[in-house]
Structure 1
């Protein structure tokens, strides 16, 4: 089963749980959801009416904890640990995974030093084990560990829940991208039109040259034929015993032989 399908099933399960529980039972559902090793999206659970009703009650800290898992990081938890329920080990691991995911969404190259600071690991070996076993095997990120450069090169990162106000920014980004794409498409169409026109001009020019070449060939052929014909005439009239010689011979007066005495 792929990660998207599994995510969808888990989200549907916990949304139903959130819709049918209240108070402490709902708090337990939130703890279970944020501890599940295969669940990394929480906005649908957060949107359940019963969850919103925790605000202002003795269980409101669990609502804050769910918001943390939807949008926050391990650093955010450390900064507000006094205002939130203590996390169990599965939740700690999950929040560190989400912290790596948050960094991977915004950068394609993550320095080891930054990652070790963000998820509180002490050495490179521990960091690489976490990236491989808890992130790449979980399917939330893919990438390459570069020990020489001491960095993680991100090739893929699953998306996290949208933070409040982030939707408007995404819409603006997509709008700008669409406008740029439209301009690029128009530019490409203009270039294609220009290329087609240039091609037609080239074809016409080539045809004109070919026609001129044919005319020159015909002209040369006619000149050659004419020269050959004239050459034959000169040979005909200059041959010994030819017509001209014969006519000239006939026009000469004949000598009379003197009488024999």
Structure 2
């Protein structure tokens, strides 16, 4: 779309040079220049031509009436529509090329101001009586890269779906004030939105810092509690180990002991010494306690009653 604007500016330059030349002194020459510029196939913008002194000279009071309408005609081609041309009296007639161009330029304006773009609304605004003529005009605008659109004749009502419009319409000087006002209001709203966003960002950052501080304090408390629990667990482990050692060392519940030598038995299962052996010697050779945990059993007269040892001898 920008390329079509560049081409339109380039196409207008020869007419601008002619308007600025020394020969552009008579109203007839100026009006012919306007007619040729508006009839040229690739000229769609005219603001630069309108600003030339030769064109503005047509506003002079001494300009003949037959030439005064050409300046208004050029303004309509710059920012007006077909309806403006129809509603303005004393304008010069248009040739076929000018008629097509003004309708194409009007279609650009209507595509941005008229919603929805139905066949009936466009035909009424462009003074077209047949739908086929409207479709031919829209097709011409599409292939000239003036608009990006799609025809929908089968819908109810039939419509023209425009998705892009080339920036080829000039700005009317009287509309600059409202445009500045609208842009100022938009700037104010943008500033308010940016202020709200910055305030929200500051609030989120403050909350994030507070959450991090709270999380750090919780971690510190947790580590202190974990360290205290570890110290208490270590002291309890020492006490438990002491009790276990005491229990293993004998204490009140010493384990039973059965000590003997396999050599003390002969082949028939009797002790070597028999009955003649010294009891003291036998006692030194064998120490057998019957019954597991006998030392922990309480007797009638003391801490525990020791069972008598059995003395085994040889068979007679």
**Which of 51, 73, 91 is the matching residue for 1:47?**
51
Q: Residue 224 of structure 1 aligns with which residue? A: 233
CA separation of 1:128 and 1:209: change in aligned 2, threshold 3 A? farther
Contact kept? 1:108, 1:155, Cα under 8 Å: no
TM-score w.r.t. the length of structure 2 is 0.69
Q: CA deviation at 1:215?
A: 2.2
Q: CA deviation at 1:108?
A: 6.0
* Cα distance per residue 1:154-184 (max 9 Å; x no partner): 3322251222311111111111111111111
**Which of 66, 69, 86 is the matching residue for 1:61?**
69
Q: Residue 7 of structure 1 aligns with which residue? A: 8
CA separation of 1:227 and 1:45: change in aligned 2, threshold 3 A? same
Structure 2 residue runs of 5 or longer lacking an equivalent are 255-316
TM-score w.r.t. the length of structure 1 is 0.83
CA separation of 1:145 and 1:234: change in aligned 2, threshold 3 A? farther
Matched, 1:208 2:221: no
Contact kept? 1:19, 1:49, Cα under 8 Å: yes
Aligned residue pair count: 243
Q: Residue 98 of structure 1 aligns with which residue? A: 105
Q: CA RMSD in A?
A: 2.5
- Once residues 163 and 17 of structure 1 are traced to their aligned partners in structure 2, the CA distance between those partners, rounded to angstroms, is 24
Q: Residue 256 of structure 1 aligns with which residue? A: none
In structure 2, the residue corresponding to 1:87 is in which secondary structure?
A: coil
Structure 1 residue runs of 5 or longer lacking an equivalent are 246-261
* Cα distance per residue 1:102-123 (max 9 Å; x no partner): 1123356422221121123334
Structure with greater Cα Rg: 2
Segment of structure 1 superposing worse, 5-14 or 116-125: 116-125
Contact kept? 1:236, 1:242, Cα under 8 Å: no
Q: Residue 17 of structure 2 aligns with which residue? A: 16
Matched, 1:128 2:135: yes
Q: Residue 241 of structure 1 aligns with which residue? A: 250
Q: Residue 190 of structure 1 aligns with which residue? A: 199
* Cα distance per residue 1:191-240 (max 9 Å; x no partner): 11111111111111121222222223223322322322221111122335
Q: Residue 295 of structure 2 aligns with which residue? A: none
- Once residues 107 and 120 of structure 1 are traced to their aligned partners in structure 2, the CA distance between those partners, rounded to angstroms, is 16
